[in-house]
């Protein structure tokens, strides 16, 4: 399937989810997660009108950024080691995986400007998942006041890999509650507007529950194996 065909389908699904939830499609940014695919397929995504791209490793990001540069808006969505910060911080518009003070300190030090960051929360409590415990998020964000280059623009989560719609829904609801709680504090450095949640298998539910950014890889650009099979 071409990226445009996939995109058309996803946009239709998002419109339906929005209708159900009384939301507007314009509230939702679709991030094409290109970590599995070639530069050609990534260029196809750009041609089909998607300009938010997500990568989860510094090497992958750098490789594509070297060719595409500022024709895209880059989102770093993967676990970020502090020593890798310097490789990505000038290239990305958003970091979705802020989950500890040592990382905040490094981003703040290396960034030449304010970087919108999303705090990654492990809502489901699964041990395999990165991110902070929900109970720790508020105090963590209060500590981020001391880092002038960090704007806390929202929260991010990865839901469990599950078919259980109720479980997914409750994860997304919890993240939204937490987001609302933080944005109501009116901290100037933490407007906390964005909710980055929803991937190929669960973006419809995430949109119904308030996602403002969905991170879609396989269902949108595919993965390398599928592309090569064509």
Ligand X SMILES: *Cc1c(COP(=O)(O)O)cnc(C)c1O
Residue in this structure with the two tokens 């339906």, named with its chain if needed = 16
Tokens of 26: 């314009």
| Measured distance CA(205)–CA(44) in Å, rounded | 27
3-state secondary structure of 153: strand
198 binds ligand X (CB under 6 A): no
77 binds ligand X (CB under 6 A): yes
For residue 32, the cross-strand partners are 53, 216
Binding-site member from 56, 124, 157, 212 for ligand X (CB under 6 A)? 56
Binding positions for ligand X, 107-146, rule CB under 6 A: none
The nearest distance, CB 142 to ligand X, in angstroms, is 25
Judge whether 150 and 107 are in contact, CB under 8 Å.
yes
Among the residue ranges 13-21, 45-53, 163-171, 197-205, the one whose residues contact ligand X (CB under 6 A): 197-205
Tokens of 58: 């510094």
64 binds ligand X (CB under 6 A): no
CA 65 vs CA 169, 183, 218: distances in Å: 34, 32, 20
| Measured distance CA(134)–CA(217) in Å, rounded | 26
204 binds ligand X (CB under 6 A): no
Of residues 118 and 144, the one with the C-beta less far from ligand X: 118
Query: Mask: binding to ligand X, 35-54, rule CB under 6 A, as x and -?
Result: x-------------------
The nearest distance, CB 195 to ligand X, in angstroms, is 13
Tokens of 34: 């290109």
Tokens of 101: 């003070």
Of residues 162 and 200, the one with the C-beta less far from ligand X: 200
The nearest distance, CB 158 to ligand X, in angstroms, is 6
The nearest distance, CB 126 to ligand X, in angstroms, is 14
Nearest residue relative to ligand X (C-beta): 217
For residue 151, the cross-strand partners are 116
Exposure string of 165-188, with b = 16+ CB inside 10 Å and e = fewer, is: eeebbebbebbbebbeebbeeeee
Binding-site member from 14, 28, 33, 195 for ligand X (CB under 6 A)? 33
Binding-site member from 98, 171, 175, 199 for ligand X (CB under 6 A)? 199
- Give the footprint of ligand X on this chain (CB under 6 A): 33, 35, 56, 77-78, 158, 199-201, 215-219
């Amino acid at each position: 399937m071409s990226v445009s065909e996939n995109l058309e389908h996803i946009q239709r699904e998002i419109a339906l989810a929005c209708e159900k939830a009384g939301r507007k499609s314009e509230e939702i940014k679709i991030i094409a997660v290109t970590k599995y695919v070639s530069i050609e397929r990534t260029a196809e995504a750009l041609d089909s009108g998607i300009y938010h791209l997500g990568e989860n490793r510094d090497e992958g990001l750098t490789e594509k950024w070297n060719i595409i540069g500022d024709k895209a808006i880059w989102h770093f969505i993967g676990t970020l080691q502090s020593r890798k910060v310097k490789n990505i911080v000038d290239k990305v518009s958003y970091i979705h995986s802020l989950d500890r003070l040592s990382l905040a300190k490094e981003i703040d030090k290396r960034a030449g400007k304010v970087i919108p960051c999303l705090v990654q929360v492990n809502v489901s409590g699964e041990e395999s998942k990165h991110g902070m415990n929900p109970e720790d998020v508020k105090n963590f964000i209060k500590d981020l006041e001391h880092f002038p280059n960090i704007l806390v623009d929202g929260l991010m989560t990865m839901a469990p890999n599950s078919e259980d719609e109720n479980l997914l829904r409750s994860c997304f609801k919890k993240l939204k509650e937490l987001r609302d709680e933080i944005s109501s504090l009116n901290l100037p450095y933490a407007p906390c507007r964005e909710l980055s949640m929803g991937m190929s298998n669960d973006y419809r539910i995430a949109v119904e529950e308030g996602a403002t950014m969905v991170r879609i890889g396989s269902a949108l650009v595919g993965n390398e194996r599928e592309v090569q099979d064509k």
